[in-house]
Amino acid sequence: MSLGICALAFQLARRLAHRGGDRLASVWLARSALALSGIFALAIAFQTLAILLVPACVG
């Protein structure tokens, strides 16, 4: 679910980043959102991998 939200944010931001025009702040913000959604997607993937590799402490 979290990766889906990151993918949705990436898709929405990509549309804004390609528009251009005189809205420089919007384009800059969209490109920042693209970078941040990629970073969060990687963090989620690494966290999932860590959970799969390290067994849970069952007490």
Reported as a single tens digit per residue, the pLDDT across 33-44 is 778 888 888 898
| Residue 59 included in any domain | no
Q: What is the rounded CA–CA span in Å between residue 53 and residue 59?
A: 18
The total domain count for the chain is 1
Please tell me the pTM assigned to this model.
Answer: 0.57
Residue type, 19: R
Range of the domain at 22: 2-53
Task: Convert the chain into a string of H (helix), E (strand) and C (coil).
Answer: CHHHHHHHHHHHHHHHHHHCCCCHHHHHHHHHHHHHHHHHHHHHHHHHHHHHHCCCCCC
| Residue 28 included in any domain | yes
Given this model, what pLDDT does residue 48 score? Answer: 87
